[in-house]
A and B are shown apart, each in its own frame.
Chain A
Amino acid sequence: MQPMFKWKTDDFSWVDFTIDVLRVIIVLGVVIGAWNTLSSGRISFAQWVNLFAAGLSQGSIYALIALGYTLVYGILLMINFAHGEVFMAGAFSTVFLAEALNRTGFLNAQPLLAILLMIAFAGLVSMSVAILLERIAYRPLRGSPRLVPLITAIGAAFFLQYTFRGLYGSGFKAYPGVHALQGAIEIGGISIPVVQVFVFCAALFLMLCLYWLVERTRIGKAMRAVSENKEVARLMGIDIDWVIMFTFGVGGFLAGSAGVINGLFRPQGVNFYMGFIPGIKAFTAAVLGGIGNIPGAMLGGLFLGVIEAIGPNLVLAGLGIPGANQLKDVIAFTMLVLVLIFRPQGILGERLSETKA
């Protein structure tokens, strides 16, 4: 034992100590803030339930986008930062279809059929964009250092933003309202908007489909094999390029459908820049849940949505912080930092194989 490294073998370390102190401060802050808010009774139980429900719907949209990050990371170990723009591509393109369907009256005559049509269209657009992105921007860089595709992804994000601005202009658009989704469901004196229930169910259905695809089908098995070990998968006769392209396509489809679901939930704000913040939030959600882990991305998305909806009013307002609602993003990104400090593998974590670790 060399004496100069003695401190390392001690039980005490400053890093652990600091993290422990941080832990205590955070727990105390959350408890005190929540206690202050709840004891003041400014916000009623029904309002908390409303906030929670809105958070779940928002979170399910984050989750759908987060799945794209996680799928690609699982297979290529790269963060596709242009994924937010894939979401925008579907959402922005479909707003024109939605307007047309609304003008002809089809949207309100056959709402379910019209929404399915919109989801299919948005999914196709986003899927094509994602596949082209992979083919043109990422495949030539496969095997290069990990920073290279990351920077390329950021460049591709700008390219996509300004391409769509060139195509559709810089103004804001909005999805038309669907009459069938207006109104609210009353449960025990608490009313929850129908659209939120629909959004949550639709997103959940898509996620279950994905789970089934990955776990129960042949191509899903191939995806899992490629994510485990590309070289061995190749030796087993799996066409790696095709599987990667398929993965991007699936991620793109989910992002596009998230675009339409988001359009039903929050109809305004459709423009070429709309993918940026949801993209970052979904990336946060994917890391929260454990990037590379599919149920993790779903859980991370829902968790982030709910924390964002409830956190400012529950904790920050209770601590007497002014402008608490402006700090919603602070809550989201603080969660990211905390997860990275305390549980770097995410909530569900992923059992990293040796090549990934």
Chain B
Amino acid sequence: MKRLLPVFLLIGLLVAFSIPAFAQDGCMDELGCVEIASDDPVVIGAMLSVSGATSFYGEDSLGGIELAISGRDGMLLGREITLVVEDSLCSAEGGQAAAQRVAADETIVGVIGTTCSGAAQGAMPIISEAGMVMISSSNTSPSLTNDDTEAGGTYLPGYFRTAHNDLFQGAMGAQYAVEVLKAGAVATIHDGDPYTEGLAVVMANTFAGLNGEVVFQGAVSKGDTDMSAILTEIAASAPDVVYLPVFVPESEFLVSQAANTPGLEDAVMMTADGSFSATFAQNTGAAAVGVAMTGPHVSGEAYSAFLDLWAEEQPGGTEAPPSGFHAHAYDAVNILMDAVEAVAEELDDGTVLIGRQALRDAISAVENYDGLTGSLTCQDESPYAGDCATGTALAVFEITEPQVNDGDWPPPIVWDLSMSMMMMNDG
């Protein structure tokens, strides 16, 4: 027994030391807490595509985030807010690298990002494992909120988004093609990105479900400028609608070259929010007139005020937001900041504790949040797990002369779900 005495002593000492440590820590959260000392700032992370060809999407969201922070005078919980921006590019590797840097920083309470769905797929395993939350303002790939891995779902706890799910957007494109354009045959083009591919597949499936015929499903590569080969092939299959939910500038090349492709004169070109920017119409020129596009429909007084503020402060040096997801980013960071405020516990010495699971729960519980992008309610069931947008802030737009010649934006709305004969039941 004597030999065990030092062991008991050691255990006793350890317990004695750890009791005050627990008492002082006070963190009861199962995923741990972010601890902010009394004079430390609140750190918010952003993982956005801020370099490369898609950097204007990142700058668009970053502007929304900066305006939301300055809207609170840069203060949260009585502390200054520090924004840490990591470049997640528009690829899985970029997302993974950015997530590793973010996860290594224990002071970060939550992350806004990523810009591209592909980057989110690389980032989420790390972010989720670290117990953090990530709210995306522009991921729209259905796989990100679907937990059925056999169906390609990649949902992981801690993921949220204020952008719409493409299950809404792709279906909407198909319904418009059938109900309004009376199309019988459709061709789809994607560019290999999970976002564009997901959208093309949802559109094709919905269209086939509405008794339409999918006559061509093909793909281009990012960076292609010469689309004559694929357009020639599409013309050979004679579709009524060509659905091309790809990014700019590939969509610009496709639409402008389709106008000169024999056999596609009467086909309606239809694109999605990857091309939803004022420069799409101007860059594409006359061929853009008549192009239908699904995209975020954000309006209202609060949004007008937001745009005025943007013009005044010019985050990133642009007078107007360069793309269509700045309002989503504004809502995302506000939801995060509200949730942080709601779950923060202040200790006697001024230290603030933010429980990581509590933060996830608080965001999950968001209901009827009055954001710039409409009323947001975060859901928790696959295939909409983490979806805070309901798809009501979407519309079909049709480009007309003023968008091409004068840079008017957005184009007139020609259709939305309220006009549909077969309202979606699951929305």
Contact = CB atoms under 8 A, between A and B. Distances in A.
Do chains A and B stick together as partners? Answer: yes
A309 interface: yes
A245 to B, nearest CB: 31
A270 B420 CA distance: 38
A126 interface: no
Contacts of B228: 50-51, 54, 309
Closest 7 CB pairs of A and B: A174-B283, A269-B249, A268-B252, A325-B230, A326-B219, A54-B228, A273-B53
A224 interface: no
Interface size bracket, B side: 35 or more
Interface string A220-239: 00000000000000000000
Contact of A266 (B55, B226, B282): B226
A29 interface: no
Contacts of B29: none
Contacts of A174: 249, 252, 279, 282-285
Interface string A230-267: 00000000000000000000000000000000000011
Interface string B242-280: 000000111011001000101000000000000001010
B220 interface: yes
B306 interface: no
A284 interface: no
A326 B226 contact: no
Interface string B279-308: 100111110000000000000000000000
18 contacts: A42-B233, A54-B228, A58-B225, A170-B322, A171-B56, A172-B248, A172-B283, A176-B285, A191-B262, A268-B252, A268-B283, A269-B250, A269-B283, A309-B228, A323-B218, A323-B219, A324-B233, A325-B219
A51 B262 CA distance: 12
A176 B282 CA distance: 9
A177 B285 contact: yes
B380 to A, nearest CB: 36
A43 B233 CA distance: 7
Contacts of B285: 174, 176-177, 267
Given A51-B228, A172-B279, 16 more contacts: A47-B235, A162-B51, A170-B59, A172-B248, A174-B283, A184-B260, A266-B226, A268-B248, A269-B252, A271-B53, A312-B229, A323-B219, A324-B218, A325-B233, A326-B191, A329-B221
B236 interface: yes
A184 B228 CA distance: 15
B20 interface: no
Contacts of A324: 218, 233
A93 B195 CA distance: 32
B226 A58 contact: yes
A277 B285 CA distance: 24
B318 interface: yes
Contact of A47 (B232, B260, B277): B232
A142 B56 CA distance: 38
A85 interface: no
Interface of A: 42-43, 46-47, 50-51, 54-55, 58, 162, 165, 169-174, 176-177, 184, 191, 193, 266-269, 271, 273, 276-277, 308-310, 312-313, 317, 323-326, 328-329
Contacts of A176: 285
Given A171-B279, A174-B283, A268 B260 contact: no
Contacts of B236: 42-43, 47
A323 B230 CA distance: 9
Given A170-B55, A171-B56, A269-B225, A50 B256 contact: no
Contacts of A271: 53, 249
A153 B148 CA distance: 46
A312 B230 CA distance: 9
B6 interface: no
Contact of B218 (A162, A273, A326): A326
A313 B229 contact: yes
Contact of A172 (B192, B226, B249): B249
A55 B227 CA distance: 11
B253 A268 contact: yes
Contacts of A312: 229-230
A54 B226 contact: yes
B56 A170 contact: yes
A268 B259 CA distance: 14
A277 B221 CA distance: 11
A156 B242 CA distance: 40
Nearest to B224: A328
Given A54-B228, A193-B260, A328 B221 contact: yes
Contact of B279 (A42, A173, A313, A326): A173
B253 A266 contact: yes
Contacts of A177: 285-286
Given A323-B219, A325-B220, A326-B221, A309 B283 contact: no
Nearest to A174: B283
A267 B256 contact: yes
Contacts of B318: 169
B199 to A, nearest CB: 16
A47 B236 CA distance: 10
B78 interface: no
Nearest to B50: A170
A176 B285 CA distance: 8
Contact of B223 (A43, A169, A173, A277): A277
B52 interface: yes
A268 B284 contact: yes
A192 to B, nearest CB: 11
A317 B232 CA distance: 13
Interface in B106-156: none
A84 B250 CA distance: 19
Given A170-B55, A193-B260, A325 B229 contact: yes
A308 B221 CA distance: 13
B276 to A, nearest CB: 13
Contacts of B59: 170
Which of B219, B223, B248 has the most A CB atoms < 10 Å from its CB?
Answer: B223
A12 B58 CA distance: 58
Nearest to B52: A273
Contacts of B218: 323-326
A328 B250 CA distance: 14
B85 to A, nearest CB: 15
Nearest to A166: B317
Which of A43, A162, A171 has the most B CB atoms < 10 Å from its CB?
Answer: A171
Nearest to A162: B51
Contacts of B317: 169
